[in-house]
Amino acid sequence: MKKIGLTLLTAFVGGALALGAYKVIESKYADNMSFEEKQKVYFTSNKTAPVVSSTGSLDFTEAAAAVTPAVVHIRTSYSSKSGGSGQDQLEQMFGDMFGQRMPQRGPQQASGSGVIISTDGYIVTNNHVVDKADKITVATNDHRTFDAKVIGTDPSTDLALIKVSATNLPIVKLGNSDEVRVGEWVLAVGNPFNLNSTVTAGIVSAKGRNIGIIGSNDSEDDNPFGRTRSQQSTPKLNKAIESFIQTDAAINPGNSGGALVNTKGELVGINAAIASHTGSYEGYGFAIPVNLAKKVLNDIKKYGTVKRGFVGVSFTELNPDVAQQLGINNSNGLYVNDLVAGGGAQQAGIQKGDIIEKVEGVPVYESSDLQERVGRLQPGDKINMTVLRDGKEKNFEVTLKADAAPSTRTAAVSKSAEELFNRLGASFSPLTPAEKAKFHVSSGVKVTQVRPGRVFDNFEIPVGSVITSINKSPINNVADIDKAITNLRNGNLVISGYYPDGTNFNNMFQVQ
């Protein structure tokens, strides 16, 4: 009996050790997984009943029940100095497309929706929902509230990744927007005005819509893709990537950042805008495809910014009127107006006057046909393009180049860690061994994004700088920053590090 008992005890202890080791390894490698990989692990361990529907007997109840718990209400507040987000000018043109803003004396407030995509608190929403926010509060479907911090933003796609400190949260399953078909049923799920979720149904009206909303009030940036509307003598270009899914599912103010899902309850888009003369639903809603969002969100989590490759061309969409103006016979494709010096297109051999007809063998009719596909790729990736030159088709393999001068800069006084983090207005990634050797440091994080009007912007700490310590606490990751910024010394926050050229700095600001 003693021998049997000893054997059982040994087996039990061995099993416990193995389980413990597995959990440690699982936690370690989970941080390096993409959101889609983490979800596969989650749904493998948490199987759900299949949702079955047909055009003969539509039933959205299962899909709605699966999604609504993971769609949250987001409320933001803005100081008068922040100026709120840039939606006021757009409201005058298209109505209230971007959430609900309530003008008032003192701090301004706005609200929108968000979608939980990871059980440990990562939430996707629109950039315009959290842009320049001083404080971000998230209310879940079960009436819990959390302060949130901005992990990173991408104004080019109007996406933002924020995070709350929570675990075991419900999530929406990521779908495949490439498989979405015009005419199929979809649900728009939001959490506006803290109404504890709203669900509306409609169909997919169109795909690949470019409506010229993102970056329409930003005339500073150059767009390597080029103009997407009428040709001008002195073009004002931007880096917007628009390839919206259009739906007639009712999307109203406050639904920005909410979920567009198929009848299986899978996320296929992030609701972004409505086209309206009144500011309310008129049958035209637009969502960012989830396949584009996956790349953006994974980049933000992993690198602190979006690593985007550029073709390096400026173009005009062809139609019969434009073709007549240019004196050409083709009315389909993208007419190459100019090339970025040293860009991928120029090095591949593409010339001014070429007409881009196909990308990866797929015909190109609108700018979105090129932009969304390129927007999913990284610098260094290759893409095959077919152009028409002198009446003959030519094929080129273009190697995408990184932006020559990254200038992505957007979002977040009290003393909560989340508000302080947002007030810093920066995103970070861990230093590589090579970067540590370059700056001769043993700890540190690299600044990957600086958002205007925040502390890093005011102190002129640029992208590429290294933060080694905050309040004399070594910094190696975002979690270290969270701990350090709550360790205030007489209300002061001291940030130390190195500029990209190796010059060291010590900056101090006072928390009011």
Q: Is the pLDDT of residue 225 over 80?
A: no
Give the position of tokens 């296929």.
268
CA 332 to CA 344: how far, in whole Å?
A: 23
Q: What DSSP character marks residue 280?
A: S
Please tell me the least confidently modeled range out of 153-167, 182-196, 270-284.
270-284
Of 3-12, 195-204, 259-268, 334-343, minimum mean pLDDT range: 3-12
How much is the average pLDDT of 145-164? 93
In this structure, of 129-143, 276-290, 469-483, the range with the lowest mean pLDDT score is 276-290
Predicted local distance difference test score (pLDDT) of residue 512: 54
Q: Which of 50-54, 171-175, 190-194, 225-229 has the lowest mean pLDDT?
A: 225-229
For residue 310, the cross-strand partners are 401
List 273's β-bridge partners, or say none: 286
For residue 418, count other CB atoms closer than 10 A to its CB. Answer: 24
Model confidence pLDDT, tens digit, residues 316-346: 888 888 888 888 888 888 889 888 888 888 8
pLDDT tier for residue 254 given thresholds of 50, 70 and 90: confident
Three-state DSSP at 293 gives helix
Burial class (CB in 10 A: 0-12, 13-18, 19+), 185: middle
Any idea what the Cα angle at residue 36 is, between residues 32 and 40, rounded to 5°? 100
Query: Is the distance from CB of 128 to CB of 449 less than 8 angstroms?
Result: no
- Residue 323 to residues 232, 261, 331, 335, Cα–Cα distance (Å): 15, 39, 6, 9
Q: Average pLDDT, whole number, for the chain?
A: 78
Q: Quick check: 335 and 316 in contact, CB under 8 A? A: yes
pLDDT at residue 185, as a whole number: 94
Mean pLDDT over 102-131 rounds to 81
Which carries the bigger pLDDT value, residue 273 or residue 29?
273
Residue 63 exposed, middle or buried by CB count within 10 Å (0-12, 13-18, 19+): buried
Pick the most confident of 78-82, 185-189, 452-456. Answer: 185-189
pLDDT tens digits, one per residue of 182-212: 999 999 999 887 567 889 999 999 998 877 6
**CB 428 within 8 Å of CB 481:** yes
Q: Look at residue 18 and tell me whether its pLDDT is greater than 60.
A: no
Is residue 134 very low, low, confident or very high in pLDDT (cuts 50, 70, 90)? confident
Which residue's structure tokens are 């969270």? 482
Rounded to the nearest 5°, which phi and psi values hold at 329? -90, -25
pLDDT band at 258 (very low <50, low <70, confident <90, very high): very high
Measured CA to CA, the distance from residue 113 to residue 315 in angstroms comes to 35
Among 167-171, 310-314, 412-416, 500-504, where is mean pLDDT lowest? 412-416
The pLDDT of residue 12: 57
Give the range among 40-49, 201-210, 292-301 with minimum mean pLDDT.
40-49
Least confident of 85-89, 210-214, 342-346, 411-415: 411-415
Q: Coil, helix or strand for 443?
A: coil
pLDDT for the residue 235: 36
356-367 confidence digits (pLDDT tens) = 998 988 888 877
**Residue 29 neighbours by CB under 8 Å, 6+ apart:** none
Per the model's pLDDT, the better-predicted residue between 238 and 9 turns out to be: 9
* CA 147/CA 135 separation, integer angstroms: 8
394 pLDDT above the threshold of 70: yes
Q: What is the dihedral of CA 178, 182, 186, 189, to 10 degrees?
A: 70
Q: What is the pLDDT of residue 511?
A: 62
DSSP string, 388-440: EETTEEEEEEEEPEE-SS-----------HHHHHHHH-EEEEEPPHHHHHHHT
Q: Does the pLDDT at position 403 exceed 80?
A: no
Report the amino acid identity of residue 117: I
State residue 67's pLDDT score. 94
Angle of helix 367-375 relative to helix 290-303, nearest 10 degrees, comes to 40
Residue numbers annotated as active site:
128, 158, 256
Higher pLDDT, 146 or 402: 146
Count of Cβ atoms closer than 10 Å to residue 403 Cβ:
18
Read off the pLDDT of residues 477-503 as tens digits, 9 standing for 90 and up: 888 888 877 766 556 678 888 899 888
319 conformational bin, left if phi > 0, alpha if psi -120 to 50, beta if neither: beta
Residue of 365, 368, 376 whose CA lies nearest to 309: 376
Please give the structure tokens belonging to residue 453: 């009007």
pLDDT of residue 221 exceeding 60, the answer is no
Closest to 224 in 3D by CA, of 62, 334, 121: 334
Whether 506 shows a pLDDT value over 60: the answer reads yes
Q: What is the Cα–Cα distance from 458 to 424, expressed in whole angstroms?
A: 10
Helix axes 417-424, 478-485, angle to 10 degrees: 110
pLDDT band at 92 (very low <50, low <70, confident <90, very high): very low
- Average of pLDDT values for 257-273? 92
The residue with greater pLDDT, 100 or 398, is 398
pLDDT for residue 423: 83
Q: What is the model's pLDDT at position 477?
A: 85
